Homo-oligomer: A and B are copies of this chain.
Amino acid sequence: MGCVTATTSAPGNGAPRSRLSPGQRRTQLLDLGVSLLATRSLDELTIDVLAEEAGISRGLLYHYFGNKHDFREAVVRRAVDDLVEQTAPPEGGEPLDRLLASMAAYVDYVVANYQGYVSIVRAAAGGNDTLRELYEEARTSLMERMFSEDAQGEIVPDTDAARLMLRGWSAMAEELVLRWVVEPSGVTREQLLDALTASLPALIDVLR
């Protein structure tokens, strides 16, 4: 830790930095990075920005994250982990109600983290292979959860055909929610959620 350099801005958290292990400190910095993504795109979240916000030196950030690519990747990994965690459906209840609750949490997540989320989606859809892979992993987690949560296949049977439909439906959910946040077009949050939950059975029913 010889490369620690105090800067003029205060760390902003109450606890002295020395109490945290390097792993905890790294996690704390990642959380800060993810929270900065709420109002910034991924391109705007640089090592410099994080250094300033955390009140630590760029050198220390390089110590934790290697280089700017590793830093970006670590932040995106943390952001998509958060997405998966925050959209976990409640434990009990009917599959369709739990899907609705999970979709409501997804809408809230996108509203709260708009700038960063849209930049991750774009980077993943564009040519960035690492980010595409990371985001694809998150999509797969969300999808696999659907099958484990709905073990009886009440909403979606566990088949390749249903998985294909679910992929299309996820793309729709993403597009709809991202557009709705910017321009609700007279659609209420409830109508948005109803549209998402109503369209899934319509897609699956053609397979039966």
Contacts and interface: CB of A to CB of B under 8 A. Distances in A.
Interface of A: 122-123, 125-128, 159-161, 163-165, 167-176, 179-180, 183-187, 191, 194-195, 198-199, 201-203, 205-207
Given A202-B198, A202-B202, A203-B198, A179 B191 contact: no
Q: Give the interface SS of chain A, mostly helix, strand, loop or mixed.
A: helix
A161 B195 CA distance: 11
Contacts of A123: 126-127
Contact of A194 (B126, B160, B173, B206): B206
3 shortest interchain CB distances as A-B pairs = A126-B126, A168-B176, A125-B125
Given A169-B172, A171-B171, A171-B175, 18 more contacts: A125-B125, A126-B126, A159-B185, A160-B183, A160-B185, A161-B185, A161-B186, A164-B179, A164-B180, A165-B187, A168-B173, A168-B175, A172-B172, A187-B207, A191-B206, A198-B205, A201-B202, A202-B202
